[in-house]
Every structure is written in structure tokens, then in C-alpha cells.
Chains A and B, each alone.
Chain A
Amino acid sequence: MGGNSDQAELERQFQQRIDDDIKIEPKDWMPDAYRENLIRQISQHAHSEVIGMQPEGNYITRAPSLRRKLILLSKVQDEAGHGLYLYSASETLGISRLELIEALQSGAAKYASIFNYPTQTWGDVGAIGWLVDGAAICNQVSLQRTSYGPYARGMIRICKEESFHQRQGYEIMLALARGSDEQRQMAQDSLNRFYWPALMMFGPHDGESAHSAQSMRWKIKRETNDALRQKFIDQTVPQIEFLGLDHPDRDISWNESRGHYDHGEIDWHEFYSVINGNGHCNRQRLQHHIRAHQEGEWVRDALAAYQEKQRQRDCQDPD
């Protein structure tokens, strides 16, 4: 029974470190469930960065001005970089990038369901930068204080770039809102389509969130879904007003006593429907990833073969 009490003691010390806000590092002891929970969360985050390249990537070749094209391209490039940091952070937990990619492609791992929505117009590129990156920032800012060191440090780097992403999205919306009638309609339409899905990015209400309580105790999550969502709703109201667009939520109203905006009911039926495969792009996003990965196989093989040849050459003539 000594083993069990050792285990209990390790867990007690582990929780103590977390309560004292000491970061957990890769070589530290950690409960298996903590490790698994982190791998799930970080890899889901990594996959979201990578799959998220597709909806915006959809407009790189069509961006309406050279300036916009360059900004969008570097934004999408940043997202690839975020994917890389986060895969590296996951790897410190003892899982390889290849395993993570396999889990994504088999459907075992998830990515943010927001990326199952199609980008139909240029306005959608603006709405995504503004609202989707904006919602992601709310979440990521809180994760800068997450208990796992590599994840927290990754978030600090990522957050620096994210504010540029949100700004470029908002600038797109601003140009549309101040443009022609058609452009203004485009902006309103994109706002209408992306507002609610952006709210859903924070996940279900706290009472219904499967992983929330334990994740909060371990400080993997630092703020609840509903608290983060409220922050986002509050910050978005004046931004919509500044654009001069109509708020998609007719029930939005300032609640003086709460110091927050009250808002209308979120259509969770739609949320689960899209997650469960009824989004416009669920299959397409994965197929795209699988196709690119398969088309790249011969390149990765060539790289490995070349490196092996180089290694053998180095062995043969040791200078």
C-alpha cells in the first residue's frame, strides 16, 4: 500500500505547486490525467491554428488589394507558426507531432469548430480576424497564466502576434463599413454570420462543460467559459457601434447592476450540429489537410533519404 500513499503524496505536492503558482515543467512529475488533459487541450489548440489557415487562406489569392494580400499572407503565416509552437509544447509531454497529426486526421482529436464555417466573401476575412482572433485572444490571454510552463510561454509569444491579427481584421471591416453600400452590406452580412459562432468558441456554459472543473483546479484553464465569453461580448459592443453596423443580437443591453451586457440566448443546437458534422466545411477541412500531407509524403521521404546518405558519407570520410 506504500505505492498508493506515495502517489497521494506526489499528487498533494503537485497540487501544492499549482496552488502556489509555480509552473509545471516537462521533467516534473505530473498526474497522468493532467498530462492527458494538457495534450488534449494543447493539441486541439495546435490543430485549430493549422486548420484555421484554410478559411483565410481561401482568400490569399483573391485579396482585393496588394496591401491586404500581404497582410493576410503574413497573418496566415503567423498561424502556421502558432501551430508549430504548440506542437512543440505538446511534444514536451511525450507525444510526437506525427501522432498528433494522425489523431487530427482520424478525427480522434478536435479543432475549433469555428473553422468549419465557410469564408464566402472578403468581409468574412475581416470578420474572422476581428471576431475569431478576438475571441481567441480573450482565451489565450488568460492562458498566459496556465500552469504548464511551455504552454504558458507559448501563449505569451502567440498573444503578441494575435493583437495584430485582430487589428487587421477590424481594419478590413472598417474599410468596408466606410465604403460603398455594397461594401457596407458585405460587412453586415459577415458580422451576422460570424458573431454567434464566435461566441460559441468559448465552449458550452460552465455547467455543461465536460472538463472545466478539474482544468480550473489544475489551472490548465484560468477562467471559465462564461466569464471569457462575457468579456468578449462586452468588448465587441462598442466595436460594432464604431463601425456603424447593426448588432446581430437584438437582446443586447447594458446591465448597470452587473456591469456587463446582457445578451440573447445562444443557439447551442447549431453549435452541436456543426461540431457533429453538419458544418459546410467539416469534411473539406480534414480532406484538405490529408491531401496536402499525402502529397508531401514523397518530399519527406526524400529529405529522410538524403539525410541518411549524408550521414553515411560523413561516416566514410571523417575529416
Chain B
Amino acid sequence: MIDRQDSDDILAYAVRLGDDALVLGQRISEWVSNGPFLEEDIAYANVALDFLGRARMYYRYAADLARDGRDEDHFAYRRNEREFTNLLIYELPRGDFAFSQVRQLFVDLYNTGFLAGLGTSEDPQLAAIAAKTAKETRYHLRRSREWVLRLGDGTRESHSRTQKAVNELWGYTHELFDVDPLEQRLAARGVAVDNRMLRPAWYQAVSRVLDEATLEIPGDDWAVRGGRDGYHTESLGHLLTELQYIHRCYPGCCW
């Protein structure tokens, strides 16, 4: 039986996952017409389309659960930086090509485990979304992995840029494997993924790629957290400013 508490929890969970996907999709879309060559503009557009598509699926499900008139665009356009609950790694500015590809590798490997878990969720809607998106994640992973190999083992400049990206991102990866009380409740009912279980496989897979790319794994000496509580870096406010500007300028309009 799904009771009221469950339903609120699942709604909040779907919004979190939607926020993760929206914020990363928005960031990646910034690459279009800014890539190192045309094929990469196309590839980035593909990845952005997939993440934005995921955001819509999660938000629509949240809207179905809310049953109060909120729709997908409400979740995307009408909430502020304290209300967004995406993890911090997704909101970091796109940086250079190495930064975006390393982030993508970390995220794709994380999603490989996460979506496999969510695919077995007791919640059929979440399981269906996971099933739909797992295949795309395999494509993204193939690309991000190959790029990190090429950049890490390319020129001296690409190696140092990529190592720098690994170092700068590492402290934001820990939060991927946190579980707060809401997720614990949902995990106990078989609805949410227990992210704590994902880290060993993730760490092993990341190590393998970085090793092959002649890159080093940084120490775990710093970690920034807070996305799920709406405690964000300053960059999220700017991202939302841009994302929401037109929508908020003309309240209540259809597009």
C-alpha cells in the first residue's frame, strides 16, 4: 500500500531526480555551437536532449503525484535556488572540454549503477523511467570514457587539463553516495536506490578508466555537500536566472 507519506516522499524523490537531470542537461546544452568540432556539438546536443528528456519524465511523474495543478514546467521554472534539490556536481559551470567530459564520466558511471537499481524499484513509474534511460546512459558512457582516455593519454596539455578536472570534481562525487532520511525511508520500501551501495563498484570502474588514461585518483581529503537540502554553490542561481527568465517574465502564459 502506498500511503500519503509515501506519496509525498516519492514526489520529492522524483523532483530531485528531475532536478539532477534538468540542471546537467542545461549545462551540457551550453556546449552547442561551442564544441571543438561539429561532431561534438551534435554529440553534446544528444546528451543534453537525453537529460532534459529525463527531467520531463521525472517532473511529469511528480506532477501526477501532486495532483494540484503543478506541471512539469512548474517544477523547472517556478522554483528558486533554495528549492532546487539537485546534487552539486550537476550545477558546476561547464568549464573546459576536459572538465565537462570528466564530470560526464563520473555521472555516467554513477548512473550505470543507479539506473540498474532504480529499474528494480517497487514503484513501477520510476522503474519504467530507469529502463528507458539506462540504454542512453550506456551510449553516454562509451563517449565520456573514450574522451577521458584520449584526453588523459593525449598531449601534455590535455593530460594536465584532465587531471585538473579530476581533482576539481572529486570532492563533489562523495555526495552522489549519500542517503538522507527520505531516501532511507524509500529505500527501505524498495522504492529508492540505496546510493551507499553504489560507491564500491563506481570507485572501481572510475579507477580503471583513470588508470588507463594515465590519470591519478585524488585523495578523499575534501568533500562539498548540500544539494539535496537546497544548499547550493553560487553557480546554480545564475543557471536558474537564465533558464527561467522568459517563463517568469510572462507568468501564466502558454508557449
**What residues of chain A have their CB less than 8 Å away from a CB belonging to chain B?**
50, 53-54, 57, 60-70, 73-74, 76-77, 80-81, 83-84, 87, 122, 172, 175, 178-180, 182-183, 288, 292-293, 295-303, 305-306, 309
Chain A neighbourhood of B206, CB < 8 A: none
Q: Which residue, A64, A66, A87, has most C-beta atoms of chain B within 10 A? A: A66
In the complex, besides A64-B255, A296-B36, A298-B158, 4 extra interface pairs with C-beta distance below 8 angstroms are: A61-B30, A64-B246, A65-B77, A77-B41
CB of A50 within 8 A of CB of B38, answer yes
Known: A62-B242, A77-B41, A183-B253. A57 touches B53 (CB 8 A): no
CB of A299 within 8 A of CB of B151, answer yes
Minimal Cβ-Cβ distance residue in B for A291: B34
Q: A292 to B76: give the CA distance in the assembly, Å.
A: 29
Q: A84 to B40: give the CA distance in the assembly, Å.
A: 11
CB of A70 within 8 A of CB of B33, answer no
CB of A81 within 8 A of CB of B42, answer yes
CB of A66 within 8 A of CB of B35, answer no
A51 CB to closest chain B CB, in angstroms? 9
CB of A73 within 8 A of CB of B49, answer yes
Minimal Cβ-Cβ distance residue in B for A53: B33
Known: A61-B30, A292-B35. A73 touches B154 (CB 8 A): no
CB of B56 within 8 A of CB of A70, answer yes
Contact with A along B33-75 (1 / 0, CB 8 A): 1111111111001101100110110010000000000001100
Q: A295 to B34: give the CA distance in the assembly, Å.
A: 9
Which listed residue, A73, A83, A292, A305, touches B34 by the CB 8 Å rule? A292
Q: A68 to B52: give the CA distance in the assembly, Å.
A: 11
A3 CB to closest chain B CB, in angstroms? 41
Chain B neighbourhood of A288, CB < 8 A: 33
Q: A288 to B77: give the CA distance in the assembly, Å.
A: 28
CB of B153 within 8 A of CB of A66, answer no
Interface residues of B in 156-177 (CB under 8 A from A): 157-158, 161
CB of A302 within 8 A of CB of B37, answer no
Q: A83 to B42: give the CA distance in the assembly, Å.
A: 11
Chain A CB within 8 A of B243 CB: yes
Q: A293 to B40: give the CA distance in the assembly, Å.
A: 12
Q: Which residue, A87, A178, A299, A303, has most C-beta atoms of chain B within 10 A? A: A299
Chain A CB within 8 A of B26 CB: yes
Q: A22 to B41: give the CA distance in the assembly, Å.
A: 36
CB of B247 within 8 A of CB of A77, answer no
Contact with A along B12-45 (1 / 0, CB 8 A): 0000000000100010011011111111111001
Q: 10 smallest A-B Cβ distances: which pairs?
A: A296-B36, A302-B154, A302-B158, A77-B45, A299-B36, A64-B246, A306-B150, A53-B33, A64-B255, A65-B255
Chain A CB within 8 A of B155 CB: yes
CB of B35 within 8 A of CB of A296, answer yes
Contact with A along B82-106 (1 / 0, CB 8 A): 0000000000000011000000000
Minimal Cβ-Cβ distance residue in B for A309: B153
Chain A neighbourhood of B222, CB < 8 A: none
Q: A292 to B153: give the CA distance in the assembly, Å.
A: 23
A290 CB to closest chain B CB, in angstroms? 12
Chain A neighbourhood of B157, CB < 8 A: 298, 301-302
Which listed residue, A50, A63, A295, A306, touches B246 by the CB 8 Å rule? A63
Chain A CB within 8 A of B254 CB: yes
Which listed residue, A50, A69, A70, A182, touches B250 by the CB 8 Å rule? A182
Minimal Cβ-Cβ distance residue in A for B149: A306
Which listed residue, A87, A296, A302, touches B151 by the CB 8 Å rule? A302
Minimal Cβ-Cβ distance residue in B for A55: B33
Chain A neighbourhood of B29, CB < 8 A: 60-61, 69, 73
Chain A neighbourhood of B34, CB < 8 A: 292, 295
CB of A66 within 8 A of CB of B56, answer yes
Q: A270 to B59: give the CA distance in the assembly, Å.
A: 47
CB of B41 within 8 A of CB of A301, answer no
Minimal Cβ-Cβ distance residue in B for A183: B253
Which listed residue, A80, A87, A122, touches B42 by the CB 8 Å rule? A80
A169 CB to closest chain B CB, in angstroms? 13
Minimal Cβ-Cβ distance residue in A for B30: A61
CB of A298 within 8 A of CB of B161, answer yes
A116 CB to closest chain B CB, in angstroms? 16
| 18 contacts across the A-B interface (CB closer than 8 A) | A61-B243, A62-B243, A64-B255, A67-B56, A80-B33, A80-B38, A83-B38, A84-B38, A87-B38, A180-B252, A292-B35, A295-B34, A298-B157, A301-B154, A302-B154, A303-B154, A306-B149, A306-B153
Known: A61-B29, A295-B96, A296-B37. A77 touches B250 (CB 8 A): no
CB of B73 within 8 A of CB of A65, answer yes
Minimal Cβ-Cβ distance residue in A for B247: A64
Q: A70 to B28: give the CA distance in the assembly, Å.
A: 13
B150 CB to closest chain A CB, in angstroms? 4
Q: A296 to B242: give the CA distance in the assembly, Å.
A: 25
Q: A59 to B121: give the CA distance in the assembly, Å.
A: 37
